[in-house]
């Protein structure tokens, strides 16, 4: 078994990074080489802006290369909750922004010729318990009637063509949702940004940011560059930028581990007996699972197996054992299947689970996607580019307040308590 991301291992690495020292004068510096930062850099470069992107390790090293491979439309939690929290107009606009971002991904892939197995698969949210059916069905009716007619409700007896064996009690199908190979997308996106003129440095962690006239000096171990504007797209990994003044984000982002295993490629018979619908799937438990088939028919199975802010081989191995047991419970036909990959990554959560994009402490930022970053980051990255160019009308999160989390300084000491609370809710639901 390999303790590394399947997306990293099965995609060509970005090969066009800058070989020399970090130096020069730029209009915009982007910190973070994932989907958000690369989309911002690509759009700025296409507009003729002098843009530099600084990535601490390698392109796609963080959440963009460590996720479950889903491009699911819809808000990270219930649409009714979003209406109550944000108001009907903003909730509707945010829901549509997820749809629009998936459309943007599809258009960008075609425009740049990125081969990443993009497919409109649809997403099926599954009721794990009979007691979950009523709430899930009510959410479906609200969404279907108000904001997304491309949805369907499936009763338990209709799930046989979607998922086997029948461990679930019904489900909501989102037709606009998609999937792709995340590693090939992020590498292709970096190649596109480079082709349009962005200069990209890997292995260039930011250690300081200081005022320099109307702009900023951005310091890395490889050297220092100057930029008029700075875009921060570090998400759950903001806490790793210790030398730079990113305390604003560390006090607002909760970094939570999410862990994934991938089987060997399944046979056609095994696919038919497991996920004949070949969609993205997510369960209704608070500590649930998400899964899909890879382009080569591996079952990619993930979840918050442990409430931890650490993702390393030891932590990933512990979580992988829990996920292996969960996979066997849901799919007994695969209880002895070989697991070939096990990896983890950090998800940048906000307290209310709504993402944020705006300006703070002299920096533009987009982060806090709360598990839906693969789909939303493309739109937000391009909105950040617009903001750097003085255009404010493409940010669906404009004006959304983002208070600091009390007693939180970037080390989420409270995660075990949160895990216990969610486990209790799942037992009692």
User: Which CATH number does the domain housing residue 41 bear?
Assistant: 3.50.50.60
* Alpha-carbon torsion, ordered 127, 129, 132, 137, to 10 deg: 40
Any domain includes 427: no
Any domain includes 425: no
Q: What's the total number of domains in the chain?
A: 1
- The pLDDT, as a whole number, for residue 317 is 83
Any domain includes 184: yes
Which residue segment(s) compose the domain that 26 sits in?
6-419
Q: Which residue has the tokens 């109550």?
A: 84
Find residue 123's DSSP bridge partners.
174, 280
- The pLDDT, as a whole number, for residue 396 is 93
The string of DSSP codes covering 103-148 is: HHHHHHHHHHT--S--B---EEEE-SSGGGHHHHHHHHHHHHHHT-
**pTM value > 0.85:** yes
DSSP 3-state percent helix, strand, coil across the chain (nearest 5)? 35, 25, 40
Any domain includes 81: yes
- The pLDDT, as a whole number, for residue 305 is 56
**R_g (Cα) of the chain, nearest Å:** 21
Any domain includes 293: yes
Ramachandran region, residue 392 (left: φ > 0; alpha: ψ -120 to 50; beta: rest): alpha
- The pLDDT, as a whole number, for residue 245 is 60
- The pLDDT, as a whole number, for residue 242 is 57
Map residue 52 onto helix, strand or coil: strand
CA distances 322 to 168, 263, 306, 342, Å, are 20, 14, 8, 11
Any domain includes 428: no
- The pLDDT, as a whole number, for residue 306 is 59
Where the chain has pLDDT below 70, the residues are 239-245, 305-311, 413-424
Which pairing describes strands 51-54 and 280-283: parallel, antiparallel, or unpaired? unpaired
Any domain includes 12: yes
Any domain includes 1: no
Q: Which residue has the tokens 């922004």?
A: 97
Distance CA 343, CA 90 (A): 36
């Amino acid at each position: 078994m390999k303790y590394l991301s399947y997306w990293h291992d099965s995609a060509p690495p970005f090969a066009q990074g800058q070989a020399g020292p970090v130096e020069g004068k730029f209009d915009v510096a982007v910190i973070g080489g994932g989907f958000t930062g690369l989309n911002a850099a690509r759009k700025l470069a296409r507009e003729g802006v002098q843009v530099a992107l600084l990535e601490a390790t390698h392109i796609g090293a963080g959440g963009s290369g460590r996720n479950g491979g889903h491009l699911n439309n819809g808000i990270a939690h219930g649409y009714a909750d979003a209406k109550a929290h944000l108001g009907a107009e903003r909730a509707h606009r945010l829901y549509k922004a997820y749809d629009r971002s998936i459309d943007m991904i599809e258009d960008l892939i075609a425009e740049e010729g990125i081969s990443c197995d993009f497919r409109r698969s649809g997403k099926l949210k599954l009721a794990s318990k009979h007691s979950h059916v009523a709430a899930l069905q009510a959410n479906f009716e609200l969404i279907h009637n108000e904001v997304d007619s491309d949805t369907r409700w499936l009763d338990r007896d209709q799930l046989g063509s979607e998922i086997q064996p029948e461990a679930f009690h019904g489900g909501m199908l989102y037709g606009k949702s998609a999937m792709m190979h995340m590693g090939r997308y992020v590498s292709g996106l970096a190649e596109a940004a480079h082709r349009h003129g962005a200069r990209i440095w890997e292995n260039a962690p930011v250690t300081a940011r200081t005022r320099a006239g109307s702009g900023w000096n951005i310091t890395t171990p490889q050297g220092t560059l100057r930029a008029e504007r700075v875009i921060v797209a570090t998400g759950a990994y903001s806490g790793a930028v210790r030398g730079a003044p990113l305390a604003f984000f560390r006090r607002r982002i909760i970094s939570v581990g999410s862990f994934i295993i991938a089987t060997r490629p399944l046979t056609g018979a095994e696919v038919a007996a497991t996920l004949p619908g070949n969609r993205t799937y997510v369960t209704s438990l608070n500590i649930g699972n998400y899964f899909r088939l890879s382009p080569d028919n591996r079952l990619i199975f993930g979840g918050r197996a442990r409430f931890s802010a650490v993702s390393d081989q030891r932590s990933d191995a512990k979580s992988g054992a829990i996920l292996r047991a969960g996979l066997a419970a849901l799919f007994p036909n695969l209880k002895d299947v070989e697991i070939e990959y096990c990896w983890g990554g950090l998800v940048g959560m906000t307290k209310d689970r709504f993402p944020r994009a705006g300006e703070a402490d002299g920096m533009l930022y987009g982060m806090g996607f709360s598990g839906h970053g693969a789909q939303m980051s493309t739109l937000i990255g391009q909105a950040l580019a617009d903001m750097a160019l003085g255009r404010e009308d493409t940010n669906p999160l404009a004006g959304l307040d983002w208070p600091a989390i009390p007693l939180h300084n970037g080390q989420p000491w409270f995660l075990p308590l949160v895990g216990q609370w969610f486990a209790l809710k799942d037992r009692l639901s």
